[in-house]
Amino acid sequence: MAVLIVTTEKSGIDKYSQELGKRLDIKQIQTRRYLSLAEGFRLERLVRRQDDIVHLPNQNFARYAMYSRNPFIVTVHDMIRFCFGFDQETVTEKLMLKLDMRCIRRASHIITVSQRTKKDLIEHLRIPEAKISVIHNGIDHSVLRPGAVRAMEKPYILYVGSERPRKNLTRLVEAFALLKKEFPGLKLVKVGEPGRSREYRRSLMMKLDSLGITGDVIFTDHASEQELAAYYSSAVLLAYPSLYEGFGLPPLEAMACGCPVVASKVASLPEVVGDAGILIDPYDVDELARAMREVITDDRLREDMVARGLKQASRFSWEKTASQTQAVYNKVYNEAYNKVPVSQAV
């Protein structure tokens, strides 16, 4: 009935297809996410030869359904590149982005991971609302849960993610510098790859130097889920002041591990965090610092946030994501072939 394309890298967007692949009893095609031109042509031909519905797991794989004769589904995680673009995009990247947009519009159905991304699709690509299903990401509660293992003994604020301007790390370190005046032993731990712009890391390091906190910010690259659980479980709080997210897995993962969350009140983050965290204006450094100070100093508030966070995180699971995705497969199959689909195990 359906073929799922599974990407093999280690980011959150790759985790999506990998977790679905574990839970859906369907054919899978594994591939890297970053493909050369030749590899891209090979994947496009492979997609075209399928006799079933093909599920393309992210918006930048829509291009590989360009000549597909069969129904296909695309998951759109965010509209960041469509709305804002990246620095230093090549002519080829711009052309591929236009091709992605064209193929997304041609898709039989679109899955999005948040109501915000659905809104962006309707606004920017004029996709009919009936053609979009919102299915939230999940987490693995058997791994991401409160634990006794400590990643560090010293108190620290945690940030998980890449280093791009929209992640708003400059304001986060400015807010952290304000807290350091009151809490000299406090550290800021940043977990995640630098991202595609090494220049941003250099400018960030210059900012740390100007604030006099270079030795208080610890950079750690990719971490496994088990390592992430330890970082979340022993952090004072997770700070996530991003300016735009299509979903935002780190706040959800943090709440599942009993870690209080201070996050932006923009884009999809209120949808993910709910009433469990403190939501702040990401452009206001003083407000971010005040919110983090409250969590550090108010034990009752912290206990309440932990309890609310665990409850909020329990609403999300990969099993739920897979079950709802299977329902979309059934719907598309039935509409395309005018048949009642045979149910598949989830």
CATH number at residue 218: 3.40.50.2000
Sign of CA dihedral 107, 113, 117, 119: positive
Token pair of 318 as six digits: 């990969």
Q: Given this model, what pLDDT does residue 3 score?
A: 97
Does residue 252 share a domain with residue 328? Answer: no
Pairwise CA distance, residues 313 & 251, whole Å: 9
Q: Given this model, what pLDDT does residue 346 score?
A: 39
CA atoms within a 13 Å half-sphere pointing along the CA-CB vector of 292? 37
Of 109, 101, 129, which is closest to residue 2 (Cα–Cα)? 109
Does residue 272 share a domain with residue 247? Answer: yes
Token pair of 308 as six digits: 């609310």
Q: In sequence order, what are the beta bridge partners of 256?
A: none
pTM, whole model, 2 decimals? 0.92
Pairwise CA distance, residues 102 & 66, whole Å: 8
Pairwise CA distance, residues 346 & 119, whole Å: 29
| Helix%, strand%, coil% for the chain, nearest 5 | 50, 15, 35
The answer to whether 325 touches 46, Cβ cutoff 8 Å, is no
Q: Given this model, what pLDDT does residue 10 score?
A: 86
Q: Given this model, what pLDDT does residue 344 score?
A: 45
Residue 193's domain comprises: 156-313
Does residue 114 share a domain with residue 31? Answer: yes
Does residue 228 share a domain with residue 118? Answer: no
Residue that is written with structure tokens 């735009």 in the block? 244
The answer to whether 3 touches 53, Cβ cutoff 8 Å, is yes
In a domain, 232, yes or no: yes
Contacts of 249 (CB under 8 A, 6+ apart): 12, 15, 137, 139
In a domain, 144, yes or no: no
Q: Given this model, what pLDDT does residue 345 score?
A: 38
Does residue 122 share a domain with residue 205? Answer: no
Total structural domains within the chain: 2
**Helix residue spans in the chain (DSSP H):** 12-23, 37-49, 80-83, 91-106, 115-125, 169-180, 198-211, 225-234, 249-256, 269-273, 285-297, 299-313, 318-337
In a domain, 151, yes or no: no
Does residue 290 share a domain with residue 326? Answer: no
Does residue 132 share a domain with residue 105? Answer: yes
Does residue 98 share a domain with residue 21? Answer: yes
Q: Given this model, what pLDDT does residue 83 score?
A: 64
Collect the ranges in the chain with pLDDT lower than 50: 341-346
Does residue 177 share a domain with residue 100? Answer: no
Q: Given this model, what pLDDT does residue 87 score?
A: 56
Does residue 181 share a domain with residue 127? Answer: no
In a domain, 149, yes or no: no
In a domain, 84, yes or no: yes
Does residue 291 share a domain with residue 163? Answer: yes
Pairwise CA distance, residues 79 & 256, whole Å: 26
Residue that is written with structure tokens 């209120």 in the block? 270
Does residue 177 share a domain with residue 91? Answer: no
Pairwise CA distance, residues 43 & 41, whole Å: 5
The answer to whether 278 touches 262, Cβ cutoff 8 Å, is yes
Residue that is written with structure tokens 């759109």 in the block? 76
Pairwise CA distance, residues 330 & 231, whole Å: 39
Of 154, 336, 327, 171, which is closest to residue 241 (Cα–Cα)? 171
Q: How far is CA 31 from CA 24, 195, 280, in A?
A: 17, 21, 39
In a domain, 344, yes or no: no
In a domain, 346, yes or no: no
Q: What phi and psi, each to the nearest 5 degrees, are found at residue 316?
A: -115, 130
In a domain, 65, yes or no: yes
> Could you give the angle at which helices 285-297 and 169-180 cross, rounded to 10 degrees?
50
One-letter amino acid identity for 55?
A: H
The answer to whether 157 touches 189, Cβ cutoff 8 Å, is yes
Map residue 160 onto helix, strand or coil.
strand
The answer to whether 277 touches 251, Cβ cutoff 8 Å, is yes
